[in-house]
């Protein structure tokens, strides 16, 4: 049994996208629909809140200094303290579509996927912010774009379109990007729906399960290896962090949850699963 501790009060309405960067005071994650980045100071336990827009979908550190963000309808750049936020051109005008989740590839490009607020099937897409600031569309016909992480050797990417109840794998190369999509993991409906995910140093895939009260660890060929149980149902994302990357941080949501039934929903949790994560891949763009 992997033990879990609750690190914060239920500070997020919809916590998502945890990220660890050694130059930050501690873990950062988003309260997505509040438009805020949250930060847990590892030394003091204080939670700081940085407003960045109407939606704070995802963030990653830049290679040297600063942050790249996915906002409601596109990308933005910011300094490490979010005192200066520079939005890049919006990618669409439809107010019913927003960014949702993403991550950086081994070459330092930032990928993030979209979805309809109404969860309309096929209304979303997966976008890639290139190093020169240009943007490419990588996938279309996406419903709820979630999770994007790479294998330790950088040749495989893992991705979830949540309603499919699958985590898909892609071959990846710097030249051709994502190709040869296939099913890597099937999540039975009774276990919840795949949300955010991360990959550990051994190549296993950790998947947060929305509606499943858990994070599952899978082998690359889809075998269930371990389970982290949570006291809340809407588990949204996970990442490794801490000085030795042996802490698994887990975000949760309290959207639509009666706090009397799940008082910890919206809190940040931490587990010590006995394996090591990999360093966060930064955005290496020169813009």
Query: What pLDDT, in 10s, does the model give residues 237-276?
Result: 999 999 999 999 999 999 999 999 999 999 999 999 999 9
Mean pLDDT over residues 171-177, rounded? 94
Q: What are residue 177's DSSP bridge partners?
A: 173
Vertex 204, ends 26 and 194: CA angle to 5°? 80
**pLDDT at residue 167 is higher than 90:** yes
pLDDT at 90: 97
* Token pair listed for 11: 């500070």
**pLDDT at residue 174 is higher than 90:** yes
**pLDDT at residue 78 is higher than 90:** yes
pLDDT at 286: 86
Per-residue confidence band for 152, with pLDDT thresholds at 50, 70 and 90: very high
* Percentage, residues of the chain above pLDDT 70: 100
Task: Choose, from 161, 195, 200, 247, the residue flagged as catalytic.
Answer: 195
Beta carbons within 8 Å of 42's beta carbon, 6+ residues apart: 25, 26, 27, 242
Per-residue confidence band for 215, with pLDDT thresholds at 50, 70 and 90: very high
What average pLDDT does the structure give for the chain?
97
Residue 116: phi, psi to the nearest 5?
-80, 140
**pLDDT at residue 131 is higher than 90:** yes
Rg of the chain over Cα atoms, rounded to whole angstroms, equals 17
* Token pair listed for 262: 């799940």
The pTM score is: 0.97
* Token pair listed for 65: 């200094």
**pLDDT at residue 1 is higher than 90:** no
pLDDT at 212: 98
Count of CB atoms within 10 A of residue 164's CB? 16
Assess whether 153 carries a catalytic annotation. Answer: no
Q: CA-CA distance, 267 to 54, in Å (whole number)?
A: 21
DSSP 13: S
Query: What pLDDT, in 10s, does the model give residues 186-205?
Result: 999 999 999 999 999 999 99
Per-residue confidence band for 287, with pLDDT thresholds at 50, 70 and 90: confident
């Amino acid at each position: 049994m992997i033990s879990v501790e609750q690190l914060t009060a239920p500070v997020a309405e919809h916590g998502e996208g945890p990220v660890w960067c050694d130059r930050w005071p501690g873990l950062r994650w988003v309260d997505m629909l509040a438009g805020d980045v949250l930060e847990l100071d590892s030394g003091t336990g204080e939670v700081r809140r940085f407003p960045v827009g109407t939606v704070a979908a995802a963030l990653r550190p830049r290679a040297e200094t600063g942050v790249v963000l996915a906002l409601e309808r596109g990308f933005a750049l910011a300094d490490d303290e979010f005192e200066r936020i520079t939005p890049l051109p919006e990618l669409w005008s439809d107010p019913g579509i927003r960014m949702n989740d993403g991550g950086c590839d081994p070459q330092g490009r930032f990928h993030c996927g979209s979805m309809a607020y109404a969860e309309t099937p096929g209304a979303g897409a997966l976008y890639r912010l290139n190093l020169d600031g240009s943007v490419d569309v990588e996938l279309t016909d996406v419903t709820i774009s979630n999770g994007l992480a790479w294998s330790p050797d950088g040749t495989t990417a893992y991705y979830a379109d949540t309603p499919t109840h699958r985590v898909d794998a892609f071959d990846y190369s710097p030249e051709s990007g994502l190709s040869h999509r296939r099913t890597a993991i099937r999540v039975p409906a009774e276990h919840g729906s795949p949300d955010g995910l991360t990959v550990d140093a051994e190549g296993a895939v950790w998947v947060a399960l929305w509606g499943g009260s858990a994070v599952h660890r899978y082998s690359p060929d889809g075998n269930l290896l371990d389970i982290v149980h949570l006291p809340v149902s809407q588990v949204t994302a996970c990442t490794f962090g801490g000085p030795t990357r042996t802490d698994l941080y887990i975000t949760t949501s309290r959207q639509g949850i009666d706090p009397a039934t799940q008082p910890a929903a919206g809190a940040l949790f931490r587990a010590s699963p006995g394996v090591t994560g990999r360093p966060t891949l930064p955005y290496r763009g020169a813009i």
